[in-house]
Amino acid sequence: MADAPLIAGGVGGGAARRRRAAASSFSRVARFTAFRLAALLATVVVGVYLTVLIANMGGHVDDIRRSTIREGVAMVVGMDPEIRRLPQEQRQQYMQDLIEIQERRLGLDRPFLLRSFSYLGSALTLDLGRSEFLVSDSGSRQVRLILLERLGPTLLLFATGQLLLFFLALVGGLMLSRRYGNWIDRFVIALAPTSAAPPWFFGIFLILIFAALLRVLPFGGMVASPPPAEPLAYALSVLRHLILPVTAIVISAVFLSVYAYRTFFLISSSEDYVEMAKAKGLSSQAIERRYVLRPTLPYIVTNFALLIIGLWGGAIITEQVFSWPGLGTTFYRAISVTDVPIIVANTVLYAYLLAVTVFLLDFVYAIVDPRVKLDGGSR
Amino acid sequence: MRALIRYLAMLRQYPSAVAGLGIVVGTVLFALTAIIVIPYPEAVRLWRGGEGMWTDTPRFAPPAWTNWFSGANLPTTIRLDSADGDVPKMREDLGGGLTEVHLTYAFDYPFDGFPQELTVFFTPTFEASRPNASLTWHTPDDREIRVGDVTLRSAETFRISQDTRLERRLGGLQPEIGLFADPADPTRPLKGRYELRVSGLVFEEAADIDAKLVVYGQVHGWAGTDHRRRDLGVALLWGAPVALSFGLLAAVGTLVTTMFIAALGVWFGGWIDALIQRITEVNIILPLLPILIMVGTFYSRSIWVLLLVVIALGIFTAGIKSYRAIFMQIKQSGYIEAAQAYGAGNLRIVTRYMIPRIVPVLVPAFVSAVPTFVFLEASLAVLGLGDPVLPTWGKMINDAQANGALFRGYYYWILQPAALLLLTGFGFALVGFALDRVFNPRLRDV
């Protein structure tokens, strides 16, 4: 009890220092964030531009534009009784003129290099006109509406899966590093190579076991059909449908991640400063939190970022295998009917999703790593 | 060379690596067998051959080895063709230009299940007058059942199992069941020797009748068949060389280029390094699979075009950053300075002094990258963007998915290619893991 005031004094001084440190770290993180945001926006613009270039190499974006114009003109002409009364040839001529004017207005007669920038603008805002075949649930054929409607389910599935994966891997890694060499540890190491397979692959097996053989979980979809009217029942139904795809996402990466984190924790817990902390007699929890976890967090975040970026790639098929009504399934349907506007816009949307992922993880990185400075910019 | 042997000797200490190497070698041998047994044009023909190719095989038949596990001896396909001499043929001259041709199709039926279908394919030869044929069925217990009569065109297919008149004569049982059913217990087939007698009447001197009887089984071959009656064995065999070559080429193409570019960037520094960094940042947010899908739908589905795109997009990835970090350290080393002092050129320093140092990191990364690309190829095929001519494992899974294989219980259709994919991927991953430990001493004790 005698040293209680000393501790209190220490805490008081620490609080002031911490407040100051918090303020400076806030401005540091804010400046870093702003810088990264600007850099990423530039990256997205370049990335989308490349997407447009690839898509239009066969004139596909031009075709989207032309058919949109044609449809619009046909609609205008069809609505106008005066024009409808004109003889066939004159009407055709009139339509042709209108189409030409529109094409010139949108710059379709200009060289591609100039046009590509106007495409870039419409691709960045997903303003790619109407789909050729697919229709949104609300009955719209606007590409943007179709895709935005599907964004929610995709985010629900992958955010759940990735967060679960992150915490499982972190906790699992810590637990295994605490007592490595036991049978669980060896079991996880033995299973780590299975992470070579993507989530959809495990999805097939999960469906086979739990849906086809045991009949305890649904084959796919997001909600029972017909969807329950009551909100609680609806949520439960969605939860039930989430189990298999989320499990597939987690299984596909968890063993490798646990193995990687555990190895990393083991290596860093043999560092001199950890030995020093042990010699000071700190509790193993304190050592873990302050001396092992804290310095390795930046590495873990980076590692996780790369994992997630890889996972987005498999998202399309994972959704398709589970008939999850997200972007991936829409993409799959667009491929099977060759719906060009949807394919281009979906690619752009995935680029956005990747950029947002990179940005969020950069942000987390800046928070956990005090060494990140503005001039560092990149990792 | 000596270093290589030493590393291999170290690899021997890891049982998982030995197992992995075994699997990899096995897969390679399997792939080579496929190429030798079924040459490329033959594989394409067997897989794309059109309707006439697969008439003699059943639809949706699991592989024959499933019989070992199910306990029931389900029928395999029986095929008897008079053109091949499987069947005794008798010609009887009735005078007046009339000839009767007798064909007797006798076969043993020791199975526990009914056949899937029953069809006779006639290939008569005649000038103008179309021959007639009448078919009778003899069961092991000496019953005689009239099957039907047909007037033959140049190629006539008589689907016994779809003949509704015969079905009515058999008391409402489907012909493929009614013809085989045990009269005492119509749910079970009668085992023994069956005979189908075809007697044809031809009206010309040179005319003749040949016919092929196919009793479609419920199981087929070592791999089963799909919805188009194709033998899945072709795809299972040929999936191996396709998957391996795609995986290996993509891994070599991306990793070697990545390493080289990272080394150049670090050595020259300045704007080259900055440019490489910026390209990498853009490339990381370019979604690989969607772009591959775009290329696949708009330009070409050839697996080799997609391979090139995979390599092109796979160069400037996160790997470039980690190699860069290692090269940065190497660049500071004294021996590089020494090399510069004796007047080594830029290219010499990069290729002879920097790159060899990174091989210990590169080799495990290479082996671990192979399964990723193997699965990427399968992923593309599952999305319906498989190579149009080549049979691959991913395309099998795609076909199975499209036909609701899991829902309808055709598990063999998905499980076989999936098992091969998993085995291939797992083998490379095991070796990659062990190599990682061998080359990175820090990992060795933990």
Q: pLDDT of A7-64, one tens digit each?
A: 333 344 456 666 666 667 778 778 877 887 888 888 888 888 888 888 776 666 677 7
Query: Is the CB of B301 inside 8 Å of chain A's CB atoms?
Result: no
Q: Closest by alpha carbon to B307, among B382, B386, B368? A: B386
DSSP state of B231: B
Specify the 3-state DSSP secondary structure of B107.
strand
Of B287, B295, B418, the CB nearest to A204: B418
> In whole angstroms, what is the distance from residue B446 CA to residue B444 CA?
6
Could you tell me if residue B379 is left (phi over 0), alpha (psi between -120 and 50 degrees) or otherwise beta? alpha
Give, for B257, the enclosing helix (H) or strand (E): helix B232-268
Q: Which residues contact B334 (CB under 8 A, 6 or more apart)?
A: none
| Amino acid at site A291 | Y
A379 to chain B: nearest residue by CA?
B321
Question: Cα–Cα distances in Å, from B97 out to A356, B92, B154, B199, B395?
Answer: 86, 11, 20, 16, 55
Confidence at residue A50, expressed as pLDDT on a 0 to 100 scale? 83
pLDDT of residue A58: 64
Q: Which of B375, B406, B426 lies closest to A198 in CB terms? A: B375
Q: Do A378 and B281 touch (CB under 8 A)?
A: yes
Task: For residue A134, report the phi and psi dihedrals to the nearest 5 degrees.
Answer: -75, 150
Chain A touched by B19 (CB under 8 Å): no
Burial of A240 (0-12, 13-18, 19+ CB in 10 A): middle
Contacts for B275 with CB less than 8 Å, ≥ 6 apart: none
The CA distance from A81 to the nearest CA of chain B, in Å, is 40
Side chain identity, residue B151: T
Residue B108 has φ and ψ, to the nearest 5°, of: -85, 140
pLDDT band at B445 (very low <50, low <70, confident <90, very high): low
Rounded Cα distance between A312 and A360, Å, is: 15
Comparing A80-89, A249-258, B221-230, the range with the smallest average pLDDT is A80-89
Give the percent of chain A with pLDDT over 90.
Answer: 8
A194 forms bridges with which residues in the sheet? none
Q: Which distant-in-sequence residues (6+ apart) come within 8 Å of B298 by Cβ? A: A55, A57, A58, A60, A340
DSSP 8-state secondary structure symbol assigned to residue B276? H
Does A220 score more than 70 pLDDT? Answer: yes
Average pLDDT rounded to a whole number, residues A300-311:
78
A130, pLDDT greater than 80 = no
How sure is the predictor about A373, in pLDDT bands with cuts at 50, 70 and 90? low
Identify all chain B residues contacting A192, using CB atoms and an 8 Å cutoff. 429, 433
Average pLDDT of the residues in B133-161: 89
B1 — pLDDT class (breaks 50, 70, 90): low
* Gap between the Cα atoms of B332 and B336, Å rounded: 7
pLDDT digits (tens, 9 = 90+) for A277-298: 888 888 888 888 888 888 888 7
Q: What is the DSSP letter of B352?
A: I
**What's the confidence (pLDDT) of residue B137?**
92
For B185-203, give the DSSP string. Answer: EEEEEPPEEEEEEEEEEE-
**pLDDT mean across residues, chain B:** 87
Residues of B in contact with A317 (CB under 8 A): 289, 379, 382-383
Q: Evaluate whether B427 touches B4 at the Cβ level (below 8 Å).
A: no
| pLDDT grade for B163, boundaries at 50, 70 and 90 | confident
Across A22-26, A170-174, A233-237, least confident range: A22-26
pLDDT at B166 over 60: yes
pLDDT in tens, B32-91: 999 998 888 888 888 887 667 778 888 888 898 888 888 888 898 888 888 888 888 888
pLDDT reported for residue A247: 94
Digit-coded pLDDT (tens) for B259-299: 999 999 999 888 999 999 888 888 888 888 888 888 888 88
Residues A345, A128: contact at Cβ < 8 Å?
yes
pLDDT of A18 reads 64
- State the distance between the two ends of chain B, measured CA to CA, in whole angstroms: 28
Q: Which of B116, B95, B127 lies closest to B207 in space, CA to CA?
A: B127
Q: Provide the pLDDT confidence category of residue A223 given band limits of 50, 70 and 90.
A: confident
Q: What is the DSSP string of B108-121?
A: EE--SS--SEEEEE
The vertex-A313 CA angle with A312 and A319, nearest 5°, equals 75
How far apart, in whole angstroms, are the C-alpha atoms of residue A128 and residue A150?
A: 16
In chain A, which residues have their Cβ closer than 8 Å to the Cβ of B415? Answer: 208
Q: How many helices (H) and strands (E) does chain B have?
A: 18, 11
Residues of chain A contacting B379 with CB distance shorter than 8 Å: 198, 200, 314, 317
B294:A343 CB<8 A? yes
Whole-angstrom Cα distance, residue B441 to residue B445?
8
Name chain A contacts of B289, Cβ cutoff 8 Å.
313-314, 316-317
The residue written with tokens 């089984």 in the block is B217
Give the separation between CA A61 and CA A72, rounded to whole angstroms.
17
A59 with A67: CB under 8 angstroms? Answer: no
Of all residues in chain A, the one with the smallest CA distance to B319 is: A306
Looking at residues B181-207, what average pLDDT do you find?
88
**B150 and B122 in contact (C-beta within 8 Å)?**
yes
Task: Give a three-class secondary structure readout of chain A.
Answer: CCCHHHHHHHHHHHHHHHHHHHHHHHHHHHHHHHHHHHHHHHHHHHHHHHHHHHHHCCCHHHHHHHHHHHHHHHHHHHHCHHHHCCCHHHHHHHHHHHHHHHHHHCCCCCCHHHHHHHHHHHHHCCCCCECCCCCCCCCCCEHHHHHHHHHHHHHHHHHHHHHHHHHHHHHHHHHHHHCCCCHHHHHHHHHHHHHHCCHHHHHHHHHHHHHHHCCCCCCCCCCCCCCCCCHHHHHHHHHHHHHHHHHHHHHHHHHHHHHHHHHHHHHHCCCHHHHHHHHHCCCHHHHHHHHHHHHHHHHHHHHHHHHHHHHHHHHHHHHHHCCCCCHHHHHHHHHHHCCHHHHHHHHHHHHHHHHHHHHHHHHHHHHHCCCCCCCCCCC
Burial class (CB in 10 A: 0-12, 13-18, 19+), A113: exposed
Contacts of B292 in chain A (CB under 8 A): none
**CB A252, CB A201: distance < 8 Å:** yes
Cβ contacts (< 8 Å) between B277 and chain A: which residues?
A: 378
B14 forms beta bridges with: none
Contacting residues of B for A208, CB less than 8 Å apart: 406, 411, 414-415
Give the mean model confidence (pLDDT) for residues B9-29.
Answer: 87
B435 lies within 8 A of chain A by CB:
no
Mean pLDDT value across residues B177-185: 88
CA atoms within 13 A on the CB side of A367: 6
> Is A283 at the interface with chain B, CB within 8 A?
no
Q: Taking 90 as the threshold, does the pLDDT of residue B29 lie above it?
A: yes
Residue A148 has pLDDT above 60, yes or no: yes
Q: What mean pLDDT do residues A101-121 have?
A: 77
Q: Which of residues 264-293 of B touch A (CB under 8 A)?
A: 277-278, 281-282, 284-291, 293
For residue A185, the cross-strand partners are none
Cα torsion B42, B44, B45, B51: sign: positive
Q: Does residue B218 contact residue B61 with C-beta atoms inside 8 Å?
A: yes
- pTM reported for the whole predicted model: 0.82
Instruction: Please give the structure tokens belonging to residue B147.
Output: 């099957």
* pLDDT tier at A378, thresholds 50, 70, 90: very low
CB contact under 8 A, A335 and B295: no
Q: Are A320 and A248 in contact (CB under 8 A)?
A: no
Give the C-alpha distances (Å, rounded to integers) separating B343 from B264, B339, B351.
18, 6, 15
CA distance B359 to chain A (A): 21
Interface check for A180 against chain B (CB to CB < 8 A): the answer is: yes
- Within an 8 Å CB–CB cutoff, is residue A163 touching chain B? no
Rg (CA), chain A: 28
First-to-last alpha carbon distance for chain A, in angstroms, is: 47
Q: A295: cis peptide before it, omega within 30°?
A: no
Task: Report chain A's mean pLDDT, rounded to a whole number.
Answer: 80
CB contact under 8 A, A212 and B284: no
CB within 8 Å: B382 and A317? yes
Q: Please check whether residue A120 is in contact with residue A295, taking contact to mean a CB–CB distance below 8 angstroms.
A: no
A319: chain B residues, CB-CB within 8 Å:
none
CA distance B294 to chain A (A): 7
> What's the pLDDT at A376?
41
Q: Would you state the pLDDT for residue B51?
A: 61
Say what the pLDDT of residue A92 is.
82
| Whole-number Cα distances in Å, A195 to A248, A348, B27, B367 | 11, 28, 19, 14
| Residue closest to B379 by CA, chosen among B357, B395, B368, B401 | B395
Q: What is the pLDDT of residue A128?
A: 74
Measured from the Cβ of residue B271, the count of other Cβ atoms closer than 10 Å reads 8
Considering only CB atoms, which chain B residues are within 8 Å of A309?
Answer: 284, 318
Q: Are B420 and B240 in contact (CB under 8 A)?
A: yes
Q: Which amino acid belongs to residue B425?
A: G
